[in-house]
Structure 1
């Protein structure tokens, strides 16, 4: 099937499948997915704010009148894939058990709302203030009630949507603690959540990075042709291979940097970003090298401090 254009809105990617895209896919602008059959709908991920999730719901109603969303699957616990869950609180919301446990312990929407408000109001320090204001300052996170999955699983699970069978495959911990792939075998379509960032640097929140590489290898061996990433345009397996190569490169670079006694920022500054010049969000290299450092036992891998360093790295490249 021809890949749809990378424009905002609902795009058909298979007989029973749709991708809801949010360009440019940067911080907070994630994709969602939809599987439909016999009037039933399974939604893959909600969005970062209630307003954005309402837009998604309205787009589905306009394009597919009469379709009822009966099930939501959260591919992982990041807010840009879960904060809209409350709009479907009376439906079945599925996530991996690891994802649900991590969500319960993760910073709430109020934490991120306060961070954005401090940045917009000029209360955050220096580069961090500017970074958060410019990258996330347009998001209104008010009114969000954290709504975790009400149905969990580990490993694999099959879900019915009308006559269609949807396969849920846990591949985390990788990007986060409990990442899940959503496969629609009849259409040859795979929704990856943030196991795939297409056209941008990913973020390694959890790791180990080796598990993420294994998840990419799993996808490469699957009988799918169309891949809907968590961020970026609808794509195919070549994008998965390129991301796998990037993760391998980051892991090798970080290990060499740590052996050489480099700080995370110093190692990030020496990473060959020019080889990924067509990717957005290069500042995430700081978080990614920091995650590998953390995995290797280094003490300078604290996420809060790395986020400040990420902002400083971003400011230095403007």
Structure 2
């Protein structure tokens, strides 16, 4: 099933109406620093799932909430990465929360954010002065989500913990960064094998519409494509490790990896880092979990 059509609301951003008081804002092409946001409406109250990198990026969300006479009551950050929670300050009226492990990781990251302008140079000037509004740690299963929405928690997948929101009646999956669509994924804080397992569970839900963390709203085919990519990458790393490769050989191993159709996705250079993560996982030499220096 194809995703519903939407109309442009701002430069490079697009509002996608998913029906039944659910909408998403797709942010640009989904490249570095450009993540999506999803809103669940419940009368005059709204739950905002992820707030993108910067408060200004949420202008289409706030405009649509105003049009619908609704106010954000709850902001949910799906995981620990700043491009999904840096915009929390756009919703000062709402309670902001995240899975407990993610909230703790964000608290540590916020102690020194000097790496952010280097990590995302396209937004360097704004990141240098960004005041982060950190989420409270919660058990996602206790969140008051409308429409019968269900919190699904996955540990050691894309990151140390990832939250997806499943709306069974509409068969809409808000996947966060468990799904990248048309963009090479990034597993720097995660587990390749754990991510494959998480995708198995998400595919088993049989969603009709998937809102990825990055890229256009799509269907279940994006989950299958991402799983195929990760399985191929894992197989390449496993074979290399069996032949004696270590994590320090990741660059050479990555050159032998055939990404198939995923080779045409944006940010293809990320595959080298993903191979490093896979080799580290297989050989017991994982990447450190702290921010890049």
CA-CA distance at 1:104 after TM superposition:
1.8
Among candidates 5, 14, 17, match of residue 9 of structure 1? 14
Contact 1:195 1:216 in 2 (8 A): yes
Task: Tell me if 1:198 matches 2:181.
Answer: yes
Question: Structure 1, unaligned stretches of length 5 or more?
Answer: 117-131, 309-318
- Measure, in 1, the Cα distance between the counterparts of 2:170 and 2:112: 35
Which position in structure 2 is the counterpart of 1:153?
139
Q: Does 1:111 align with 2:87?
A: no
Separation in structure 1 between the aligned mates of residue 5 and residue 240 of structure 2, nearest angstrom: 39
Which whole-Å CA distance do the structure 2 matches of 1:42 and 1:158 have between them? 10
Aligned counterparts of 2:263 and 2:5: Cα–Cα separation in 1: 21
Is 1:243 matched up with 2:229?
no
Gaps of 5+ in 2: none
* Equivalent pair of 1:208/1:292 in contact (CA under 8 Å): yes
Per-residue CA deviation, residues 200-249 of structure 1 (Å, 9 max, x unaligned), is: 21011233222211111111111531110001111111211111111111
Residues 1:281 and 2:267 are matched in the alignment? yes
Count residues with an aligned counterpart: 285
Distance 1:219 1:274, change over 3 A: closer
Matched, 1:95 2:98: yes
Normalised by the length of structure 1, the TM-score is 0.80
1:256-299 deviation per Cα after TM superposition (whole angstroms, max 9, x unaligned): 22333441110111111344233111100011011112222454
Aligned: 1:214 with 2:197: yes
Trace 1:302-313 onto structure 2 (pairs within 5 A).
none
1:26–1:280 CA contact under 8 A, matched in 2? yes
In structure 1, C-alpha distance between the alignment counterparts of 2:85 and 2:112, rounded to whole Å? 10
Deviation at 1:183, TM superposition (A): 1.5
2:146 aligned with 1:173, yes or no?
A: no
Corresponding residue to 1:189 among 168, 172, 175: 172
Q: Distance in 2 between matches of 1:112 and 1:198?
A: 26
Residue 26 of structure 1 pairs with residue 31 of structure 2: yes
For normalisation by structure 2, the TM-score amounts to 0.87
Decide whether aligned partners of structure 1 residues 115 and 160 sit closer, same or farther in structure 2, where only a CA change above 3 A counts.
closer
Instruction: Show the counterpart of 1:37.
Output: 42
1:140 and 2:126 matched:
yes
Deviation at 1:109, TM superposition (A): 7.5
Q: 1:212 to 1:300 in 2, by over 3 A?
A: closer
**CA-to-aligned-CA distance 1:57-76 (integer Å, 9 cap, x gap):** 433245x3311110111111
Q: 2-side partners of 1:264 and 1:295: how far apart? A: 12
